[in-house]
Structure 1
Amino acid sequence: MFDILLKSDEQGPLYIQLYRHIRGLIQRGDIQDRTKLPSIRTLSQQIHFSKNTIETAYQMLIEEGYVISRPRSGLYVVAPSLHPPIPNQHAFNLPKDTQISNMKVLQSPHEAPIDFSLLEIDSESFPLQAWKACLNESFSYNSGRIHQYGDNKGEYALRLQIAHYLKQSRGVSCSPEQIIVGTGMSNSLHLLSKLIGQSARVAFEKNAIAQVGDIFTQNGYTVVPFPLSENELSIAEIIPTNIDAVYVTPSHRPSGSPLSYAIRQELIHWAYHNQSHIIEDDYDGEFRHAGKTIPSLQGLDQHGVVIYIGTFSKAFTPALRMNYMVLPHPLLPKLQTMERTLSSPSHMDQLAMALFMERGHWYRHIRRMRNTYRRKHEKMLQLIHTHLGSLVQIEGGGAGLHIELTVQIACSAEMLKELALTKGVRVYTTQQAELIPNNKKPKIYLGFGGITMKNMERGIQLLKEAWIR
């Protein structure tokens, strides 16, 4: 056992501070392999953080492989040799002729980079009291089921609430029987690999930034990039043959612009006539900052070709490790032969979420988050116009939790990313940045979901210093 002492100068949301601090201790070897981490309750008493904050930080460490969970035992550190060491104080004294591609963050080693993460969400808006109340009520109502495994497809009460919500808010037409509650995107794609075939070839929009490309590959899929723009004459001309599925984010594409109705219809027509499927990832479809919310692609499907995937991570918390997938009717018979292999999240958490939705807390929370992200989106646009001006061009940006920038500089997106990092700012590029022609202006993506207003402003100012140089 050991003590965790946070420095007073650490920045960012509390769960991020704690996550980065423990990660740093592991990477430097200050916490040895197989060391048991303090329990959530013990650490909460030690550093006076809420249990939810600590649980979120621990979950992030688990997801990145720094920690493993042993049932009825606790959390244990994985060998630090498996992770690259972080720089020490001397690593920041670099020679003047160091190439950009090899440069590290030129900032105080005690100061965490400002991260325009595409994955983080606003931690201050979590409805802690309402969620705790639903958890307690769920345990009271279902005390006799605590030691049961639950439904492999997901608790029916939750699937019923999800079906109702999707119909009302996203235009998804489905029954609870079509819904599979899972533990995340990897879990859903693993199941799909068995339903649509091992080593399936999946067409993937070239500029896609949803960070799932590696998850497809790890689950045995072959990813085939294809271009997609609003002026394409025919989907059949740009999607290669022998494709088993097409992955799209129609409500929020990389630029923030949704797919047009015409292209949506053509995609469905193409999938039906090619005996293929469309994987619709609606990871942040709830958040549109201007105009009406765009209905799902699945709602237009009359042929049973669209597989709809949604999540609680963006709107609620990634710590819950809960998502859902709506399967078309033609895939249900095959699913029945595999139900024993399904793996759903804690059924007590599912029952609590069902109660959370039934009581109306979920809908009120979504409204609050829309207002929060709208304010952050407006602030981000204002800061970009003020500090970056004609240096960048904002593309789309009317939906989701990130903004796409086309930077008017003759260099690669990767170089811009490295330049930003020398100023202590993390920005992001597309998954296939190396495939973008040299004559194209580089594109950079800035997430605003989890960043504070203060860090947002400071980060944009630092980008100006980095890129104008």
Structure 2
Amino acid sequence: MRHTNYFSLDPDRAAVFEDTVKSRQSWSELYSFEVDRATDTPLFHQIYLQFRSAILSGALRPATRLPSTRELATRLGVSRSAVVSAFEQLLAEGYAFGKKGAGTFVASELPEPFKRTHGRRKRPAAATKPAASFGDHGGFVDVTAQRDERPFNLGRTLVDARTAEVWRKLSARSLRFFGRHHLGYGDPQGMPELRKSVCDYLQAARGVRCEPDQVVITAGTQQAVDIVARVMQGPGKEVWVEDPGYSLTRLALVAAGAKLCPIPVDRHGINVTEGIRRAAKARAVFITSSHQFPTGVPLSMARRLELLAWARESGAWIVEDDYASEFRYGGRPLASLQGLDEAGCVIYVGTLNKALFPGLRLGYLVAPRSLLRAFVTTRYLMDRQPSSLCQAIVAALMEEGHFAAHIRRMREAYRNQRDALVVALSRRLGNHLTVEAPDQGMHLVAYTRPGLPDVAIERRAREHGVVVRAMSRLYLEAQPKSALILGFSGYPQQIIAPAISRLARAFEQ
């Protein structure tokens, strides 16, 4: 959807806008906001949630001027910084926009279908039985690729000395108090302690609306996608996938018998209008909304609401893969798509393997209640249950605050590694590549100049001991762009510059 810049309009339209603002600016002052100091929810998040609810419900209409941060802080009896943080979140997610010297205003680019929230909703069909068979995946999967430790392979993490020591202590404690629950079969949905910790974390950090009994512990994102694909019913199982997108998700869907419908991605994320035009009755959409893989663009608020409206009306599922959401370097993480869902359309998928280390093999999905039984049954039939020992250690890690501290430290380390990689690429390969530091994630994209094919560079780089991924391989139908994907999270700063020197020699050839 096209965004309007009200401050570049012609004088007549600008005057109309100013009159609209004046007629609406008092309504936000009349709206009743309040904070509850007895809860654990941060004050800024309470303020943000109330504004978001008022905007989406229509109580605060487009172009309404919001009160000043100083005025609202005085009215609520809170610090001005809490109000500023809430407004920054509203601005980042597209609920509001600012005009220098004039104030903050409610955005107008919210899709009309989303506003009809009181109309009839078509709930996603509850699955009656899990699908258990796989078809031909139609392609070869290089299972050795992820084991390559050379820079700049993807999906790598670091664990500092503090986290390693805490992990050893918690592991020893779990073994020392070795309970009987480790000797038998456990809950296929996951240990209650871990599900509660995951639920608390998602509510606080990602704005996910869930209860512990909606959380299903998985071996990671890949198993969560597999579970969803097996449960989907209907001939053909037509699903939207992002183009370009994550190849392993696509292969898992094809293996489960799904029919892929590639939907192009632009600077606002997946093109929902084009998706509806191509496959309005698709069964599901698989999406990386907070940090699209591989391009890194977040799904705009207008597109988010448009997607939710389509899913609500058609009864489709939205599978939100929120990978690497912990690592956002420019402000607070964007709230999850699931947190906006009023109709039970979104299946939220996340992983602890990226937050901690891939060898852990623990992740989670948050299921709408209508699908929960089918998901747990399928999880049970696949491999009964996750490891109770690993679950107990991670639950303790989260409950005692070590997980949050680890994320804070790694976010700073990864930011430094990202910056070092951007500097090294700009110095050595600035004539060949265009690169910008991403706001989130564990990889960056470097676009090649015309005439430099990324596939050839990928092959030549391996000969020089460097792993880069050709982005053009990740397109299905959209016009491919030549670019290199480089992971930066698993490589200390001191090895980045030498590795880029080897990559530069590949370019010279």
Q: Do they fold alike, i.e. is TM over 0.5?
A: yes
Report the alpha carbon displacement of residue 134 of structure 1 after superposing the two structures with TM: 1.8
CA distance in 1, matches of 2:244, 2:506: 24
1:396-415 correspondence runs (5 A): 397-415=438-456
Percent of aligned positions with the same letter in both sequences? Answer: 30
2:210 is matched with: 174
Q: Which amino acid aligns with 1:354?
A: A
Does the aligned pair in 1 maintain the 2:443–2:487 contact within 8 Å? yes
Question: Unpaired segments of 5 or more residues in structure 1?
Answer: 1-81, 87-111
Of 218, 228, 245 in structure 1, the residue corresponding to residue 265 of structure 2 is 228
Q: Which amino acid aligns with 1:195?
A: V
Q: Deviations over 1:51-110 (max 9, x none)?
A: xxxxxxxxxxxxxxxxxxxxxxxxxxxxxxx999x9xxxxxxxxxxxxxxxxxxxxxxxx
- Secondary structure of residue in 2 paired with 1:426: coil
Does the aligned pair in 1 maintain the 2:324–2:441 contact within 8 Å? yes
CA distance in 2, matches of 1:340, 1:399: 34
CA distance in 2, matches of 1:233, 1:383: 31
Change in 2 beyond 3 A, CA 1:119/1:337? closer
Report the alpha carbon displacement of residue 251 of structure 1 after superposing the two structures with TM: 1.3
Of 471, 476, 496 in structure 2, the residue corresponding to residue 430 of structure 1 is 471
1:345-356 correspondence runs (5 A): 345-356=386-397
Does the aligned pair in 2 maintain the 1:209–1:431 contact within 8 Å? no
Change in 2 beyond 3 A, CA 1:384/1:348? same
CA distance in 2, matches of 1:288, 1:354: 23
1:118-133 correspondence runs (5 A): 118-124=154-160, 127-133=163-169
Does the aligned pair in 2 maintain the 1:138–1:355 contact within 8 Å? no
1:256 is matched with: 296
CA distance in 2, matches of 1:404, 1:175: 36
Q: RMSD of the TM alignment (CA)? A: 2.8
1:244-283 correspondence runs (5 A): 244-253=283-292, 254-283=294-323
Q: Does 1:367 align with 2:421?
A: no
- TM-score using structure 1 length: 0.71
Report the alpha carbon displacement of residue 335 of structure 1 after superposing the two structures with TM: 4.3
2:502 is matched with: 462
Of 338, 342, 352 in structure 2, the residue corresponding to residue 298 of structure 1 is 338
CA distance in 1, matches of 2:217, 2:325: 18
Does the aligned pair in 2 maintain the 1:283–1:314 contact within 8 Å? yes
1:450 is matched with: 490
Q: Deviations over 1:19-66 (max 9, x none)?
A: xxxxxxxxxxxxxxxxxxxxxxxxxxxxxxxxxxxxxxxxxxxxxxxx
Change in 2 beyond 3 A, CA 1:433/1:133? closer
CA distance in 2, matches of 1:224, 1:268: 18
Change in 2 beyond 3 A, CA 1:336/1:460? closer
Report the alpha carbon displacement of residue 237 of structure 1 after superposing the two structures with TM: 2.5
Question: Unpaired segments of 5 or more residues in structure 2?
Answer: 1-139
Does the aligned pair in 2 maintain the 1:134–1:355 contact within 8 Å? yes
Q: Deviations over 1:398-429 (max 9, x none)?
A: 21010011100314321221232232321002
CA distance in 1, matches of 2:186, 2:486: 40
Q: Which amino acid aligns with 1:277?
A: W
CA distance in 2, matches of 1:320, 1:369: 17
Q: Does 1:219 align with 2:256?
A: yes
2:230 is matched with: 194
1:43-122 correspondence runs (5 A): 114-122=150-158
Does the aligned pair in 2 maintain the 1:394–1:404 contact within 8 Å? yes
Of 414, 421, 437 in structure 2, the residue corresponding to residue 380 of structure 1 is 421
- TM-score using structure 2 length: 0.65
Q: Which amino acid aligns with 2:388?
A: H
1:417 is matched with: 458
CA distance in 2, matches of 1:431, 1:171: 34
2:57 is matched with: none
Of 362, 378, 391 in structure 1, the residue corresponding to residue 432 of structure 2 is 391
Q: Which amino acid aligns with 2:258?
A: Y
Does the aligned pair in 1 maintain the 2:345–2:368 contact within 8 Å? yes
